[in-house]
Amino acid sequence: MKVENKHTKIIAAATKVFAKKGFFTARISDIAKEAKVADGTIYLYFNNKYDILLSVFEEEVGKIVESTEKLLRLEDDPRRQLEIFCSQHLHSMKKNRYLAEVLQIELRQPYKLIKEYRDTTFSKYTGIIAEIIRNGQRLGLFRTELHPDLAKRCIFGALDELSRVWNASLETNYTVEEITNQVLAIFLIGIEVTRSSEEG
Amino acid sequence: MKVENKHTKIIAAATKVFAKKGFFTARISDIAKEAKVADGTIYLYFNNKYDILLSVFEEEVGKIVESTEKLLRLEDDPRRQLEIFCSQHLHSMKKNRYLAEVLQIELRQPYKLIKEYRDTTFSKYTGIIAEIIRNGQRLGLFRTELHPDLAKRCIFGALDELSRVWNASLETNYTVEEITNQVLAIFLIGIEVTRSSEEG
Amino acid sequence: MKVENKHTKIIAAATKVFAKKGFFTARISDIAKEAKVADGTIYLYFNNKYDILLSVFEEEVGKIVESTEKLLRLEDDPRRQLEIFCSQHLHSMKKNRYLAEVLQIELRQPYKLIKEYRDTTFSKYTGIIAEIIRNGQRLGLFRTELHPDLAKRCIFGALDELSRVWNASLETNYTVEEITNQVLAIFLIGIEVTRSSEEG
Amino acid sequence: MKVENKHTKIIAAATKVFAKKGFFTARISDIAKEAKVADGTIYLYFNNKYDILLSVFEEEVGKIVESTEKLLRLEDDPRRQLEIFCSQHLHSMKKNRYLAEVLQIELRQPYKLIKEYRDTTFSKYTGIIAEIIRNGQRLGLFRTELHPDLAKRCIFGALDELSRVWNASLETNYTVEEITNQVLAIFLIGIEVTRSSEEG
DNA sequence: CATGAATGAGCGTTCATTCAT
DNA sequence: TATGAATGAACGCTCATTCAT
C-alpha cells in the first residue's frame, strides 16, 4: 500500500512537472521535491527518467482508454459513439490538465521509446475513432468516400488542438459541453451521409 | 552571398537535425556537422541554440505564411479560400517534412520564447482560418452557430495531425490532393449552411 | 562535520591551485583533483568559480583579521600595536604562503566582485593601520604632518611586497622576526616624533 | 613608419584594455577594436596574447627605467637619488595610469614568462633602489643594519600601493608632490642615520 | 601588409544516476 | 525501504589563432 502510494505520488508529481517545464527541462530533483521524496527514492520505482515519462503515458492514458472503451461498449450507434469519444476525451483533458499538456508535448518527441509507445498503445486509442467510422460506414451512416484513417486523424487532431484552449497561458470560458457540441456539429454533419449526397 | 549561404545552410541543417532528434537531444555539433561548418561558426550567425530554433520558426514559417496570404488575396469565396489554405498547408508540410516535424514537436514546448513566438507570429497564421470562417459567416455561407476560434482549432488541429502521415516512421501512399479532398469533404460540409439547416 | 570538512578541503585546495596557477589558468578540475573530490562536488559547496575565490578571501582573510584585532585590543601603545600588526601580517603570510600569493595576485584583479570585496571587507583590514596611526598622532607619538591614509598605504604596501620574499620561486633565509624588525626599524623611526622634530 | 605606428597603436590599445579588463578577460578583439585594426593584424606584430603583454612590459617600462636611470646619473647624493626615484615612479604611474594598473595586476601573475620578465628586466628597476641604499650606507648616510634588499621591497611596495590611489574606482585629490613628500618624510627619516643612532 | 570569417580545442557547469548509510 | 551527498560524463559556448582573399 505504501509502495503503491509512493509510485502514484511520483507519477502525479512527474505529470505536473513535465507539464510545466517539459520533459527535458524538468529535473529529477524537481519531481522528487514535488512528490516529497528524495531523489534516490525515485529510482526505487522507476529505472530512469524516460521510464517515468512512459509510465505516465501507460498508466494515466491507460485509465482514459479503459473508461472510454467501457462506455463505448454500452452504445451501438456510431454517431453516439463518436459523441461519447469526443466528450470523454475533452472531459479527461480538461480534468487532468497536466496530463493533457504532457501528451500534447511529449508524445510527439522523436525518441525511440516514445515512438514505440505512440505506435502501439496510443494508436489503439486513436484507432477507436477509425473503428467507429468504419462501423458507421458499414451501417450506411457515414459517407464511404472518407478514409477512416484520415478521418481519424482529422477528429483526433481537432480534439487535441481544442483541448489546448484550457492550457495555463490561455484564458477561456468554453465549457467541455460547448466544445463537444461544436466539434460534433462540424464532424457529424461533415461525415454523415447527407440528404443531398444520398439524393446525388 | 557567402554569408547568406552559410546562414541558410545552418538553418536547413538545424531543421533536419531538430526534426530527427528533437531540440534538446540535438547537439550543436550535430548541426555543425550536418551544415559542414565548425561548431563555432554557428555562433557567428546565431546567438545560441534557442535562437537557431526560433530562426527556423521565423524564417521557414514566414515563407509559408507569406505565400499563403498572397494566394488568398486572389480569391474572394471563403470556401475556396479554405481550400487554398488547406492545400497550401499540406503541400508545405509535405514538401518540407523536416520543418513539419519541428513545428509539430517544438512549437508546443512550454518555454517562454517559444510560447511567445507561438502566441504572436504563429497565431497570426492560424488566425487566417478564423478570419476565413468569419467571412463565410458574414456572407451566409458558413453556419453562424460555429465559433470561429473553435472551428479554427478544429481545422488546424486536423491539418496538423494529417500532415503527420508523411513522417519518416510511417509509410503512406496518400497524396496531398487526396488528403486535401478528404479534409475539405469533411469540413466544408461540416461548416457549410446545409439545405436542411437552411430549411430547418 | 563531513560537510565542514569538504568545504574546508575545497577552500584549501583552491587556495593552493590559485596560488600556483592563478585564478584564470586554474581549472575547476585542478581544484577538484587537489581536493580529491569530483568536479561536480565543488558545485555543492560553491556557486561558481568566482564564488570559490571570494570564499577564499572572506574565510581565510577573515581569520587573520579576527586574530589580529583580538591581539591589538590587548595593547594600548600605538607603537606596539603597529609592531603587532606587522608581525602578525608577516607571520600569517609566511604560514599560509598560498593564501599570500592569492591575495597578492587576485585581490588586484579589476573585476566587480573582487573590487567590491577589496573596497569593503579587505579595506577594513588595512584600515586598522590608519587607525593606529591616527591614535599615535593623537597621543603625540607619531608626526602629525603624515596623512594616515597615505602612511597606511606605505606600510601595507611594504608588508605586502616584503611577504613576497617567501614565494616559491625565491630562495630566502629571512625569518619573520628579521623582516618585522627591519620594517619597524624603518617605519617606527620614519613616523615617530623624533627628538629633532620635537625640538624643531 | 607605418609599421612602427601600428605596433605602437596596438601596444597602447592593449595597455588600456588590459588595465580595464585584466589580461585574461581582455579579448584580442577588444584590443583590435581599440587599436582600430583587424584581429588578424595583431598577429602580424605579435606572436600571441602573452607576447603583447610582455611587450607592454618591456617597452613601456623600458622607457621609464631609461629616463629614471638618466636622471639618477646626474645626481650623487643617495638621499636625492631616492627622492628622484620616488618622484619619477609616482609621476610615471600617474601619467600613464593604464600602464600602472597593468603592472600592478599582471606583473604578479604566476606565469612562467611573466615571472621571467619580473625576475630579470623588472628586478633591475627595483634593484636601483637597493643600489641607492647600498651607496647611502657606504657613504654613512643610511643605517647599516638595514638590509638593502628588504628596504628596497619596503620602498617599492609603498610606492606601488601609493600609486593605486589614482585608480579609477578611487577619488583622490593627492598630487604627486604631496605623495612624494609623504613617502620621503617617512623613508628618509626611517632609513637615515639619525642623531640618536649616531650618538647611540 | 591587412582583413575578418572560420576554426576547434578547451572549460565551466549541469544533472541523471549511484551507493554508503 | 529511504535518503541525499557524491559522482563524472556530456555539452553549450568562447575566443585565440589561422588563412584565403
Residue C168 has a pLDDT of 59
Q: Has residue B163 got a pLDDT over 60? A: yes
Compute CA B188 distance to the chain's CA centroid, rounded to the nearest angstrom. 20
Q: Contact at 8 Å (CB) between D100 and C108?
A: no
Residue A197 has a pLDDT of 45
Let me know whether A69 and A56 are in one domain.
Answer: yes
- What CA–CA distances, in Å, run from A37 to A8, A25, A88? 12, 19, 33
Mean pLDDT value of segment B111-140: 91
For residues B200 and A68, the model is more confident at A68
Q: Determine the distance in angstroms separating the CA of C185 from the nearest CA of chain D, rounded to an integer.
A: 7
Cβ contacts from C onto D, under 8 A: 134
Residue closest to F12, CA→C1'?
A: B28
**A25: nt with nearest C1' to CA:** E15
Residue C188 has a pLDDT of 80
Residue B161 has a pLDDT of 93
Q: Has residue D164 got a pLDDT over 80? A: yes
Q: Has residue C197 got a pLDDT over 50? A: no
Q: Contact at 8 Å (CB) between B68 and B85?
A: yes
Let me know whether A67 and A23 are in one domain.
Answer: no
- Alpha carbons A164 and C121: distance in angstroms, whole number: 55
For residues B194 and B9, the model is more confident at B9
How many separate domains does chain A show?
2
Q: What is the CATH number of the domain that holds C38?
A: 1.10.10.60
Asked if strand E comes closer than 7 Å to D6 Cβ, the answer is yes
- Alpha carbons B187 and A154: distance in angstroms, whole number: 9
Let me know whether D90 and D117 are in one domain.
Answer: yes
**B50: nt with nearest C1' to CA:** F12
Let me know whether C8 and C103 are in one domain.
Answer: no
Q: Contact at 8 Å (CB) between C52 and C14?
A: yes
Contacts of B143 in chain A (CB under 8 A): 185
Mean pLDDT value of segment A142-168: 90
Among candidates B157, D95, D48, B27, which has minimal Cα distance to A160? B157
Beta-carbon contacts of B53 under 8 Å, excluding residues fewer than 6 positions away, are B14, B18, B23, B102, B106, B114
Let me know whether C14 and C67 are in one domain.
Answer: no
Let me know whether A109 and A176 are in one domain.
Answer: yes
Q: How is residue A131 written as a grid cell?
A: 473503428
Q: For B86, what's the count of Cα atoms within 13 Å in the CB-facing half-sphere?
A: 30
The domain boundary residue, chosen from B30, B46, B62: B46
Lowest-pLDDT range of A42-51, B62-71, C165-174, D1-10: C165-174
Residue D17 has a pLDDT of 97
Residue D110 has a pLDDT of 87
Lowest-pLDDT range of A49-58, B16-25, C51-60, C163-172: C163-172
Q: Has residue B66 got a pLDDT over 80? A: yes
Q: Contact at 8 Å (CB) between A46 and A52?
A: yes
- Confidence bin at A165 (pLDDT 50/70/90): confident
Lowest-pLDDT range of A3-17, A101-115, C158-172, D146-160: C158-172
Q: What is the CATH number of the domain that holds C158?
A: 1.10.357.10
C-beta atoms of A108 and B110 within 8 A: no
C-beta atoms of A194 and B191 within 8 A: no
What average pLDDT does chain B have? 89
Q: Has residue B169 got a pLDDT over 70? A: no
DSSP annotation of B164 reads: G
Is D108 in CB contact (< 8 Å) with chain C?
yes
Among candidates A159, A149, A161, which has minimal Cα distance to A187? A159
pLDDT tens-place string over residues B142-160: 989 899 999 999 999 999 9
C-beta atoms of C25 and D111 within 8 A: yes
SS3 C176: helix
Q: Has residue C200 got a pLDDT over 50? A: no
- Alpha carbons B20 and B22: distance in angstroms, whole number: 6
Let me know whether B11 and B55 are in one domain.
Answer: no
Mean pLDDT value of segment B75-94: 94
pLDDT tens-place string over residues D98-154: 999 999 999 989 888 888 898 888 999 999 999 999 999 999 998 888 899 999 999
Residue B188 has a pLDDT of 83
Let me know whether C55 and C42 are in one domain.
Answer: no
Asked if strand E comes closer than 7 Å to C29 Cβ, the answer is yes
Q: CB < 7 Å to strand E — which of 18-77 in chain D?
A: 37-41, 43-44
- Confidence bin at B170 (pLDDT 50/70/90): low
Q: Has residue A1 got a pLDDT over 50? A: no
Let me know whether B161 and B142 are in one domain.
Answer: yes
Q: Has residue C129 got a pLDDT over 90? A: yes
- Confidence bin at A193 (pLDDT 50/70/90): low
Residue C145 has a pLDDT of 86
Q: Residue D166 corresponds to which amino acid?
A: W
- Give the range of the structural domain holding residue D27, as residue numbers without chain letter: 1-46
C-beta atoms of B154 and A183 within 8 A: yes
User: Angle at the Cα of C18 (from C13 to C22), degrees rounded to 5?
Assistant: 160
- Confidence bin at A53 (pLDDT 50/70/90): very high
Is A177 in CB contact (< 8 Å) with chain B?
no
Q: pTM higher than 0.85, yes or no?
A: yes
Neighbours, chain A (3 or more CB pairs < 8 A): B
Residue closest to E11, CA→C1'?
A: C27
Let me know whether A107 and A17 are in one domain.
Answer: no
DSSP annotation of C145 reads: T
State the Cα torsion A118-A123-A124-A128 to the nearest 10°.
150
Asked if strand F comes closer than 7 Å to D54 Cβ, the answer is no
Let me know whether C31 and C102 are in one domain.
Answer: no
Q: Residue B98 corresponds to which amino acid?
A: Y
In angstroms, the CA of D165 and the C1' of F1 are apart by: 64
Let me know whether C10 and C57 are in one domain.
Answer: no
